[in-house]
Chains A and B, each alone.
Chain A
Amino acid sequence: GIQVEQSPPDLILQEGANSTLRCNFSDSVNNLQWFHQNPWGQLINLFYIPSGTKQNGRLSATTVATERYSLLYISSSQTTDSGVYFCAVDQGAQKLVFGQGTRLTINP
Chain B
Amino acid sequence: SAVISQKPSRDICQRGTSLTIQCQVDSQVTMMFWYRQQPGQSLTLIATANQGSEATYESGFVIDKFPISRPNLTFSTLTVSNLSPEDSSIYLCSVDGTGRRQFFGPGTRLTVL
Q: Interface on A for B, CB 8 Å cutoff?
A: 31, 33, 35, 41-43, 45, 48, 86, 88, 93-101
Contact = CB atoms under 8 A, between A and B. Distances in A.
A88 B107 CA distance: 18
B54 to A, nearest CB: 15
Interface of B: 1, 31, 33, 41-45, 48, 58, 90, 92, 96-97, 99-104, 106-107, 109
B105 to A, nearest CB: 9
Contact of A48 (B41, B90, B99): B99
Contacts of B96: 94
B100 A48 contact: yes
A105 to B, nearest CB: 15
A98 B42 contact: yes
Contacts of B103: 45
A48 B102 CA distance: 9
Contacts of A86: 42-43
Nearest to B47: A95
A33 B101 contact: yes
Given A41-B90, A48-B99, A86-B42, A95 B33 contact: yes
A93 B45 contact: no
A98 B35 CA distance: 11
